[in-house]
Structure 1
Amino acid sequence: MEMRAVAAAQRWLVDQGVSRIRDGWVSDERPELLLTANQVAHSWAGDVFAEDLTTAEQLRLAFGLLDLLDEYWVTCEIRFANEGPDGPLPADLLWDGYRQRLEADRDAEAVTYSLWVDWFEDHTTSATAFAEVLGNDIDRVVAERSQAPLRRARRVLECSGPVRWTVKEPAYRTAAGLPALHPALFRGLRAGFHDVYGDLEPAAALSLLDRLDLPSDTEHVDELRHVLAAGHKNHYRSPGAWDDAIRSCS
């Protein structure tokens, strides 16, 4: 989290008549009504991109608002602006903003959820998004083993189920070379089977799964191995396969 960006976002909200108090937020228009961070995000985040600022300045302010409010809706407004008539947003700043927050030692649920349901489930954007947040530098991440980039790698792998297999497989194979990433890679493989938009190739996924050194209490390893060995690509294409695996592995 960039404290300067957070401070700028808080000042901007004050200019909009929105102030933070101990239990939430209040607006000058209705000071008796306590607002949640989610309500603030829905009501004001989109206005950032109407400010008389450069697009880069608007984006920085939006990321500051994301850090301040920690609400997924702010990421929605960022994507709306990227796809809107004044878009696209500067790609270097956009993806650097995502990478920084994926590496931060704080909760990143709003960012990972944004990646998962907005960028990764949309096959017109998933390849670029995955490359920017992990695929382009996974070799360096694995080689250097620095804490923050590894944190980013874990978070991206875990929510990468919807990314097309051909896009993510090279990064998966590289990640398999570092045991510290194995649990996150397993969760990515499992999501590739279970997610509505999940994508994997059973034989290749099984080969990767067999390389993973996982904690002994990791759940559903045998079940995933069973469905992949049977050639199933996705839970929703083979709705009875997982139940069959549970019975077979119990």
Structure 2
Amino acid sequence: MERRTEEAARRWLADQGVRQVGDGWVSDERPDVLLTAHQVAQSWAGDVFAEDLDAADRLRLAFGLLGLLDDYWVTCEIRFANESAEGPLPADVLWDGYRQLLEADRDVEAVTYSLWVDWFEDRTTSATAFAEVLGNDIDRVVAEGSEALLRRARRVLECSGPVRWTVKEPTYRTVMRLPALHSAVFRGLLASFHDVYGDLEPAAALALLDQLDLPTNTQHLAQLRHVLAAGHKNRHRSPGAWEAGVRQAEPAAAVVERHLPES
């Protein structure tokens, strides 16, 4: 499906007079000027939603562009269309598009960034977004454990810091059954503490942290344990707490390092 939508997007761009050349793009209007993927996205992505297609097909075409260009601006145009007078966009196509790209075996930074800043940091959309990209089918993810499903879960967990604790905690607990995702849960907990909009409950987060199967010398592990044990919920609401945790952890880290086997 992903490859088909990208090829459809490539054909659509060709109809607009835009084609890929090496590492860049050129337009028929200025064939001597090499364009970046970002420039293509800014100039043409919004036009997708003016096409004489139904809303679902326009959205699929937009996701094809997102997969092809891997540029955050395409996600902005999707969001603009979703919030426009003609919106909202078909939810099944919207979230299926995100899930497919999150499972892709390549870098999808534009997708994870969009998920984080556009959907998870917005309290009006974070619960729905988290449920759609992971929470609703977490039992299947854990039971099947395919590489594609694990990629999606890992990417979602790592940027889930802003999602309300009551929304994400059940998913975190389910993921505990799968050691392959423990590092992603740790990064989710770390982001929950550090993100400006991060959310966690210290006691519950500490209980999860203590169950994670992580290397003893995992960076920031001791510091995170310290701030959670002290009852801190967020770095930005507890000025100096993380720095105190760093100082507290340094002696323990030195002891651990002395006892690590030589390489």
TM range (shorter): over 0.9
Structure 2 CA distance for aligned equivalents of residues 74 and 137 of structure 1: 26
1:158 is matched with which residue?
A: 158
Structure 1 CA distance for aligned equivalents of residues 182 and 23 of structure 2: 40
2:238 is matched with which residue?
A: 238
The secondary structure found in structure 2 opposite 1:20 is strand
Normalising by structure 1, report the TM-score. 0.97
**2:2·2:101 contact (CA, 8 Å) conserved in 1?**
no
Higher mean C-alpha deviation, range 59-68 or range 139-148: 139-148
- Residue 206, structure 1, aligned to residue 206, structure 2: yes
Structure 2 CA distance for aligned equivalents of residues 221 and 238 of structure 1: 18
Deviation of 1:217 after TM superposition, in Å, equals 3.5
1:115 is matched with which residue?
A: 115
Higher mean C-alpha deviation, range 183-192 or range 106-115: 106-115
**2:17·2:27 contact (CA, 8 Å) conserved in 1?**
yes
The secondary structure found in structure 2 opposite 1:110 is helix
Deviation of 1:63 after TM superposition, in Å, equals 0.7
2:43 is matched with which residue?
A: 43
The one-letter amino acid of 1:87's match is G
Please identify runs of 4+ aligned residues in structure 1 that moved more than 4 A.
Answer: none
Q: Which has the larger radius of gyration?
A: 2
Equivalent pairs counted in the alignment come to: 250
Structure 1 CA distance for aligned equivalents of residues 183 and 175 of structure 2: 10
Structure 2 CA distance for aligned equivalents of residues 215 and 40 of structure 1: 43
The one-letter amino acid of 1:81's match is A
Specify every segment of 5 or more residues in structure 1 that has no aligned partner in the other structure, as ranges. Answer: none
1:193 is matched with which residue?
A: 193
The one-letter amino acid of 2:247's match is R
Deviation of 1:126 after TM superposition, in Å, equals 0.3
The one-letter amino acid of 1:104's match is A
- Residue 175, structure 1, aligned to residue 184, structure 2: no
- Residue 137, structure 1, aligned to residue 120, structure 2: no
How do 1:17-166 and structure 2 match up within 5 A?
17-166=17-166
Deviation of 1:143 after TM superposition, in Å, equals 1.8
RMSD: 1.0
Deviation of 1:23 after TM superposition, in Å, equals 3.3
The one-letter amino acid of 1:163's match is V
Deviation of 1:249 after TM superposition, in Å, equals 0.6
Specify every segment of 5 or more residues in structure 2 that has no aligned partner in the other structure, as ranges. Answer: 251-263
